[in-house]
Amino acid sequence: MELPMFTGMPYPTGKEYHYPKAGEENPVITLYVVNLNGPLHTIEMRRPDDPRLREFYVTMVKWATTTKLAVNWLNRAQNISMLTLCEATTGVCTKKHEDESEGWLHRQNEKPLFSKDGLKLFFTRAIPQGGRGKFFHISMSISQPNTSMDTLQSITSGDWDITEVLAYDEESQLIYFLSTEAGPKQRHLYSADTFGSFNRRCLTCDLSDSCGYIGGSFCHNMGYFLLHCQGPDVPFLSIFQTQRDDDAVESQNTERLIEVHKLETNEMLKLTLDNMQMPIVEYHQIDKDDYTLSMQILKPAGFVETSHYPLLLLIDGTPGGQSVSERFHMDWATVLVSSFGAIVARCDGRGSGFQGTNLLHRIQKKVGVLEEQDQRDAINSDILNKPYIDKTRVGAFGKEYGGYITSLLLSDDLSPARCGAVLSPITDFELHASAFSERYLGMPKPDPRAYTMANLAHRAAQFLDKKFLIIHPTADEKVHFQHTAKLIAQLIHEKANYTLQIYPDEGHFIHNEGTRQHLSQSLVNFFEECFRLPERLFEEELDEENEDEG
């Protein structure tokens, strides 16, 4: 792939780098261990001898002990994975676990945890939990010293996900992890016994109402936990100590967290926000036939039922992602709510994560269709029938995959959205990274139908009477500018109106602060204009008011 660079010299230059697109040749990789002690010695780690791994990815590498490393191998179709333990000195890899899936295998980059002797291995894998499919839980694999047999046990179960395995305490034999057991919007810290009946307890559920979304890490000797409260209120960082009551007869709730030191309380931010009209946040569940849509709605602080507000839908939609959570978040869309009286909605439907693999895998081979339908239904059947929403002023925004869904929504005749902005949109999955596109659509050859159906080009004629803003950095290394170029060529062919804003030589993750602010301001301006009441109407209203006064 060549990224053209335009500024700084008389002739543009090309920046070349490796980027396999869907269906193209993938790089062949080899994993080596190099001995840095004594004579230089390089050993190749040999992947399991299995024809199903003819083309493969290495999705995770981690030292297990000083001489062994854990390696995860995934086939190109991304539906077979092998977790192995490799001897660094010989390169021999022994299979510890194999996974297969009818859909794609999700969460393949996560690192397992080991006991110090390397004999116990903890990792997450998807396990069937009834009607909603599989959920991610902790498995414990114990190697028996003189046999090749391992015992495999699930430490947790239920229709919720482990989101991160944090640490294993050798002394107490407890495993610490974050999960969605308290609800998909939340993350809490738990500990569980790795013996007996695997009792578990929530350590942060009763901490405070202002803390529903926890992150953090343990120090090496397990004595302290660095707790990062990430929402719903202003985030803070604090050091906690775990305290166990070993004398307790009841095994439940014998462990709690004691705060020992506040690191970062974000007082300045809190003070600033206290003096501002911050949005009111609401959560809703919409029940569908066999799944639930979750929704987050931000209303202006001075919200009144009898007023009419414009609606902005923020679309993420990346498969396995989540846009409705209790995580603290503030950006240009918050400004639209607080300063321009818009109502902002986010919605997680089919294809989203943390609600079981059935919901996730439904989009396989037909990306976009169901996600768009869910977003549209959410507006049409739930939000728009609220009297306080102005049906004529509806907009949507999304980036990358969300930009793809936003474009679908905007070009849908049944959709009320009249303006949409997209940032670095994916418009054609054949132009996108092989590992991404093939995961959801398979190979484009020999049968390209899934790719053709997902291509936005078909929709070009349906953008005619919409306000469409496309923003794309020209040196976007992840979603190439080519996506936008191709879509625009179609829009021109169909004589459709669009506005294009580029950021010359800027990459996908815009690092330049000035550019970021420019982007935020552009989006605020675009939606402010889109949501502005027509002059005439405004004047009529004024006239009415004047008449009232008269």
Ligand X SMILES: *[C@@H]1O[C@H](CO)[C@@H](O)[C@H](O)[C@H]1NC(C)=O
Residues that bind ligand X (CB under 6 A): 77, 79-80, 100, 102, 145-146, 442, 464-465, 495-497
What does the angle CA 145 – CA 149 – CA 154 come to, to the nearest 5 degrees? 105
Distance of alpha carbon 253 from alpha carbon 245, whole angstroms: 9
Please, what's the b/e burial string for 123-162 (b: 16 or more CB within 10 A of its CB; e: otherwise)? bbbbbebeebbbbbbbbbbebeeeeeebeeeebbeebbbb
Q: Residue 50 CB, nearest distance to ligand X (Å)?
A: 13
Closer residue to ligand X in complex, CB, 141/296: 141
Of the pair 175, 496, the CB lying nearest ligand X is at 496
For residue 510, which of 524, 323, 501 has the smallest C-alpha distance?
501
At its nearest, how many Å lie between ligand X and the CB of residue 320? 18
Pick 188 or 361: Cβ nearer ligand X: 361
Rounded Cα distance, 326 and 244, in Å = 29
Distance of closest approach, residue 526 Cβ to ligand X, in angstroms: 14
Q: In the chain, what's the furthest Cα-to-Cα distance?
A: 97
Of residues 203 and 360, the one with the C-beta less far from ligand X:
360
CA distances (Å), 396 to each of 70, 98, 303, 329, 406, in order?
Answer: 43, 42, 21, 18, 6
Nearest approach in angstroms of CB 399 to ligand X is: 25
In angstroms, give the least distance from the CB of 100 to ligand X.
5
**In this complex, which beta carbon is closest to ligand X, that of residue 168 or of residue 463?**
463
Q: Would you say 242 and 253 are in contact if contact means Cβ atoms under 8 Å apart?
A: no
Closest separation between CB of residue 181 and ligand X, Å? 29
Are 391 and 416 in contact by the 8 Å Cβ rule? The answer is yes
Tokens of 152: 């495999």
Report the DSSP pairing between strands 309-315 and 343-348: parallel
CB nearer ligand X, residue 495 or residue 511: 495
Give least dist CB 548 to ligand X, A: 34
The residue among 50 and 377 lying less far from ligand X, judged by its C-beta, is 50
Question: Please, what is the minimum distance in Å from the beta carbon of residue 377 to ligand X?
Answer: 26
- Closer CB to ligand X, residue 135 or residue 468? 468
Q: Which residue has the tokens 């004595």?
A: 223
**Those residues with Cβ within 8 angstroms of residue 124's Cβ, 6 or more apart along the chain or in another chain:** 107, 110, 136, 137, 138, 139, 162, 165
Nearer to ligand X, 272 or 497 (CB): 497
Q: Which of 522, 470, 528 is nearest to 498 (CA)?
A: 470
Name the one residue in this structure whose structure tokens are 């936003």: 406
Minimum distance of ligand X from residue 476's CB (angstroms) = 27
Measured distance CA(25)–CA(20) in Å, rounded: 6
